[in-house]
Amino acid sequence: MNAMNTAISKIGVVPVIKLNNPERDAANLGKALCAGGVPVAEITFRAAGADIAIKLMKEACPDMIVGAGTVTTTEQIDKVLAVGGQFIVTPGFDPELVAYAQEKNIPIFPGCTTATDYHQALKFGLEVLKFFPAEQSGGLAKIKALSAPFPMFKVMPTGGVSLKNLKDYISAPVIAACGGSYMVTADLIDNQKWDEITELCKKSREIVKEARGE
């Protein structure tokens, strides 16, 4: 895998974040994630100002890997690039967005849940695919089934991943990392429960290390 994919895979979990008040919360959230051993964040465009949140989080935590999620337009990719975002995640597989991201030399993880999606990803030479929504799309059983004809891909399941099933997912060799919002829920962020976020990150990292025998 390339350097970005390897770095994310080593962490094992990717917080998927909707920030309603980036000016107030981005910096503190970044610090809380890093303190918990999870120096990576996917800031989604489900809330306005995702690019602002990325910029503020990177300024507060320069060594973090910060990218954007729920990206659906090339304009959003441009916004992410303008503030130093480091990766793109899309809900589904959009050939135009994949080609544009590759042209701009920013890693992209498109949502893929079918053999048809995987076929398209193969044509673009991708290494890691987002599997979304994971639990609703067949979960680990489907991921393993798809890995038989497509062993070249690593997968990042997102959607329905929690502390309860993280070990099951991360134990599978096909899984690069797991995306999740359980450690960055609206309640935790809006009420600025930074210590709780840090603890959930620590628990997640412990599960990852145990599952991988680290």
* β pairing state of 65-69 and 40-44: parallel
Catalytic residue among 42, 55, 79, 154: 42
130 is catalytic: yes
Catalytic residue among 55, 79, 130, 154: 130
Amino acid, single-letter form, for residue 78: D
User: Any idea of the CA torsion for 49, 64, 108, 198, to the nearest 10 degrees?
Assistant: -80
With CA atoms as reference, report the closest residue to 41 among 61, 24, 23: 61
Q: Are the C-beta atoms of 176 and 195 separated by less than 8 Å?
A: no
Amino acid, single-letter form, for residue 7: A
199 is catalytic: no
8-state DSSP, 185: -
Active site residues: 42, 130
